Structure 1
Amino acid sequence: MSDNRIHELNTLKTIAEKLNEATDVRDMLRDVLKELLHLIELDTGWIFLINKQGEYELAADYSLPEGLTWNRRQPLCTGGCWCIDRYKDGRLKTAANIISCKRIEEVIEHKWGETRGITHHATVPLRAGKEKFGLLNVAAPKKTHFSDGELALLEAVAFQIGTAIKRNQLVEKERRHALIEERNRLAQDLHDSVNQLLFSIMLTARGTKEMTKQPDIQEMLTYLQELSQEALTEMKALIWQLRPQGLENGIAAALLNYANVLALKMESEISGVSTLPCHIEEELWRVGQEALNNCKKHAGTNQVYLSITRSKQTVEMVIRDKGDGFYYDETTSIPTLGLKGMRDRVMKLGGSFNLTSAPGQGTMIEIIIPL
């Protein structure tokens, strides 16, 4: 076996060990990129992750020349290039030599910094089976061509990275399912034990009150009844937070049912909604739940409007009340942790979150999430 072949196998073995140790995708990409460049004796590299909508982000880089790090890596984080364009239109399917790099050309043109003599790079799709996740780019000073052997090795490593990304996605999906199952179990336990105990206390207080004629004792028992009823209502709301009844029938049904639990009168308008991806439906539920809770506690009205509209590419949800409202404009920070949590949930899915409110004019929350 030739020295070249032994070196390739050792490289694949080392990369595989790194990938098997990793649990966080970004840490994994950074560590593997550094190790790969060291093993194949190249100078610099970067990895783009690209979603199904064709939007890309710089996920990892190593030993970039000064010009590519200009203004927080702007040359790599904005604009298009040959490899991204061909990845998106399906023409880039295997490892390829890049004749020249548009991003580096822009660095030189705008004099953003030195490039260490790097003008070209190889680019390789990260994939697992037919599913693609992004691009691996590697380069070295004055290197304008990669041999077939080098490209084959890069392709093998890129396939390993793509498989590890897919594995991490499956692990995360399983973790979310486990979390949902645990919430369901806890909700059932609360319903079967604590809920029943509170109901029993309330009935016992009512029965005991009827057995005495002493006003002070009757007053205390009435107070105990009221506390039990309040705790029972809070417990029902908590169980709903853990396991929304009706979510199996869709997000609209779940929010309508929750509004009933909170004694809110909801007017709804649902359009184009049949089924949604589970993770999006779950986040819509959490956002809607927080918005309805805010209406119950702060709006000073029990009237609320819900709209959910699904198109081919997005789902839009609007929750509006005509209650007390509060002062807010886009120049001020979002006033509560609950509202910030709603915004963060939406932003995590790549969506937009808009809050509109004014004293005496109610509050409206509008979110749009890409599908």
Structure 2
Amino acid sequence: MNSESLSNIGLLKEIAELLNNETELDSMLSGALKKLIRGSSFTTGWIFFIEKEGSHELVSYENLPGSLSDRQCEPMKKGGCWCVNRFRKGKLTKASNIIECQRIEQAIEENREDTDDITHHATVPLQSGDESFGLLNVAAPNKTHFTTDELALLESVAFQIGSAIKRILLTKKEQEVALIGERNRLARDLHDSVNQLLFSLTLTARGGAEMTGDEEVKDTFKTIQGMAQEALSEMRALIWQLRPHGLENGVVEAAKGYAEMLGLTLETKVEGVISLSSKIEEVLWRVSQEALNNCKKHSGEKHILYTLKSELQSIDLKIEDRGYGFHYDGKQSLPSVGIQSMKERVKNIGGTLTIDSQLGRGTVISVRLPY
């Protein structure tokens, strides 16, 4: 066994150890790519995730030349190329050699940053069983041909990464299922204990007010009844948030049901054919909850406009009331924890949230999520 083979075995062992210890997708991909580039003859590498509908996302890269990292890696995020197109068509099943990089060719034509003498790259799909996740690409200066050993190393690393991606995705799915189960259990417990106690307190206070002739005592019972009724409404809203009825029929139906429970009327409008992933639906649902809660507490308006629209590459949600409104300056600190929470949820999946509100003219919350 030659020294190069021994070196490759050692590198594969290092990468395997890293992959086994990682639980987060981003750090796993970044760490594996770093070790591959630093431990081999390749000098740069990048990983694309490719969705079933064909769109690709640059999820990790290492030591990209300036021509490809220009403008926050914009040349890598837009447009098509040979390897991505072949992957979409199901014709890229193993490590492939001598692929001219259309992205670098375009950078040269446009006289952008330095290419580090890279013109070609090798590519290999990231797979686990029958599932394909994307591509691992590597390159080196002045290299137009990759040896059999280099391609074998690339395939071995891609196999390891593909298996790790599958493991992490399955683990996250299990965590999501466990979280839903815990939410359902907590919702049941709250409904069977605290909710019932509050309901009993409401009835008791009402009975006490009817039984006494003392006006002060009667007023006290009515105050208790009002507070208990308000707490009961808050508890029902909390239970709904933990276990939303109607979400199985889509976020719009869930929002309508939640609005009805709050005593609001939701005028809904859906534009385009909308099929949402669970991740997008969860964000839209939580944003809808918080926005409707704010409408109930602060707007003074019961009629809410709710529009969900499918664009070519985005899902747009607009929640509008014509209530009191408030003075909102996006440059200043956010006026409530709820708005901060909405912004963070949307930002975490690459979306944007804007608020347009004026005193006496109502509030419009607009969300745009990548689709």
Task: With the length of structure 2 as denominator, give the TM-score of the two structures.
Answer: 0.82
How far apart are the structure 1 equivalents of 2:51 and 2:295?
A: 36
Q: 1:329–1:356: 8 Å Cα contact kept in structure 2?
A: no
Where does the alignment leave 5 or more consecutive residues of structure 2 unmatched? none
**1:199, CA displacement in angstroms?**
2.2
Q: Go from structure 1 to structure 2 and tell me whether the alpha carbon gap of 1:351 and 1:175 turns closer, same or farther (over 3 Å shift).
A: same
**3-state secondary structure, aligned to 1:193:** helix
1:159 aligns to 2:162 (yes or no): no
The aligned residue for residue 290 of structure 1 is 290
**1:4, CA displacement in angstroms?**
5.4
The aligned residue for residue 87 of structure 2 is 87
Where does the alignment leave 5 or more consecutive residues of structure 1 unmatched? none
Give the aligned length: 371
How far apart are the structure 2 equivalents of 1:77 and 1:351?
A: 16
Q: Go from structure 1 to structure 2 and tell me whether the alpha carbon gap of 1:152 and 1:192 turns closer, same or farther (over 3 Å shift).
A: same
Mean alpha-carbon deviation: is it higher for 120-129 or for 65-74? 65-74
How far apart are the structure 2 equivalents of 1:353 and 1:199?
A: 38
Q: 1:98–1:123: 8 Å Cα contact kept in structure 2?
A: no
How far apart are the structure 1 equivalents of 2:18 and 2:333?
A: 42
Q: 2:104–2:119: 8 Å Cα contact kept in structure 1?
A: yes
**1:161, CA displacement in angstroms?**
0.9
How far apart are the structure 1 equivalents of 2:71 and 2:276?
A: 39
- What does the per-residue CA deviation read over 1:51-91, in whole Å, with 9 as the maximum and x for residues that have no partner? 33433333323334455444444444444433334334444
Q: Go from structure 1 to structure 2 and tell me whether the alpha carbon gap of 1:111 and 1:272 turns closer, same or farther (over 3 Å shift).
A: closer
1:144 aligns to 2:170 (yes or no): no
**3-state secondary structure, aligned to 2:134:** strand
1:303 aligns to 2:307 (yes or no): no
**1:312, CA displacement in angstroms?**
10
Mean alpha-carbon deviation: is it higher for 145-154 or for 113-122? 113-122
Among all aligned residue pairs of Structure 1 and Structure 2, give the percentage whose two residues are the same amino acid.
51
**3-state secondary structure, aligned to 2:100:** coil
Q: 1:255–1:288: 8 Å Cα contact kept in structure 2?
A: yes
The aligned residue for residue 231 of structure 1 is 231
1:192 aligns to 2:180 (yes or no): no
**1:346, CA displacement in angstroms?**
4.3
How far apart are the structure 1 equivalents of 2:315 and 2:100?
A: 40
The aligned residue for residue 55 of structure 2 is 55
The aligned residue for residue 135 of structure 2 is 135
Q: 2:98–2:146: 8 Å Cα contact kept in structure 1?
A: no
Mean alpha-carbon deviation: is it higher for 13-22 or for 90-99? 90-99
Q: Go from structure 1 to structure 2 and tell me whether the alpha carbon gap of 1:278 and 1:138 turns closer, same or farther (over 3 Å shift).
A: closer
Task: Give 1:1-371 correspondences, 5 Å limit.
Answer: 5-108=5-108, 112-269=112-269, 277-308=277-308, 317-326=317-326, 337-339=337-339, 341-346=341-346, 348-349=348-349, 355=355, 357-367=357-367
- What does the per-residue CA deviation read over 1:99-123, in whole Å, with 9 as the maximum and x for residues that have no partner? 4334444555556554444333212
Task: With the length of structure 1 as denominator, give the TM-score of the two structures.
Answer: 0.82
- What does the per-residue CA deviation read over 1:206-233, in whole Å, with 9 as the maximum and x for residues that have no partner? 3344554443333323222222122111
**3-state secondary structure, aligned to 1:98:** strand
Mean alpha-carbon deviation: is it higher for 141-150 or for 184-193? 141-150
Q: Go from structure 1 to structure 2 and tell me whether the alpha carbon gap of 1:47 and 1:278 turns closer, same or farther (over 3 Å shift).
A: closer
**1:154, CA displacement in angstroms?**
0.7
- What does the per-residue CA deviation read over 1:279-320, in whole Å, with 9 as the maximum and x for residues that have no partner? 443333222222222221222221223345679987655433
Q: Go from structure 1 to structure 2 and tell me whether the alpha carbon gap of 1:146 and 1:159 turns closer, same or farther (over 3 Å shift).
A: same
Q: 1:127–1:162: 8 Å Cα contact kept in structure 2?
A: yes
Q: Go from structure 1 to structure 2 and tell me whether the alpha carbon gap of 1:195 and 1:273 turns closer, same or farther (over 3 Å shift).
A: farther
**3-state secondary structure, aligned to 1:94:** coil
**Aligned residue identity for 2:144:** T
